[in-house]
Amino acid sequence: MPTLINSHTIVAQWLMTAGTSLYTLCGARVWWPDLPDAVVFDNTSPGIAFRADSETPTSADEMLESHMMFECFGGSANPANAHAVYQALYARMQKASGTVAAGRLHTALFTRVRLATRTDKGWPLYAVEFDVTTHA
């Protein structure tokens, strides 16, 4: 039977690791699809929202390969901080290879970045894509 891998939780825990420049900027302001409805998604301070738009188990079902989309927000007080959040996300994901409570982040390969606006909110952001491999 294949091992259940929750790539969203693994990546979220990786991003919220204390002592990193990303954590200094965003703290626990990381949103992903598995969050409870009570968690408010806002743009008052810098933060990151992300989701996997495709996930493929490896042949051995021990790892999950995901294409993940990240939105880096700077906060309403200084939207230009979105670039600093993007830089910190890039630096953190380039060091991807470590274990968190939910599993192991094995690799993260940067694929694309672009300046954008969140259409439903009108917030400026950096849209960043990574191909990520997680392990239970």
CB of 128 within 8 A of CB of 36? no
Range of the domain at 112: 7-135
In a domain, 54, yes or no: yes
Tally of structural domains, the chain = 1
Q: For residue 25, is it within any domain?
A: yes
Q: Give the integer Cα–Cα distance in Å for 122 and 79.
A: 11
Task: State the burial class of residue 119 (Cβ atoms within 10 Å of its Cβ: 0-12, 13-18, 19+).
Answer: exposed
CATH number of residue 13's parent domain: 3.30.2000.30
Q: What residues contact residue 17 under an 8 Å CB cut-off, 6+ apart?
A: 23, 92, 100
In a domain, 108, yes or no: yes
Domain presence at residue 1: no
Please indicate, yes or no, if residue 2 is contained in any of the structural domains. Answer: no
> Per-residue pLDDT averaged across 32-60, rounded?
77
What residues contact 1, with CB distance under 8 A and at least 6 apart?
Answer: none
pLDDT in tens, 1-20: 456 778 888 899 999 999 99
Instruction: Kindly report the pTM of this predicted structure.
Output: 0.86
Residue 94 lies in a domain: yes
pLDDT for 1: 44
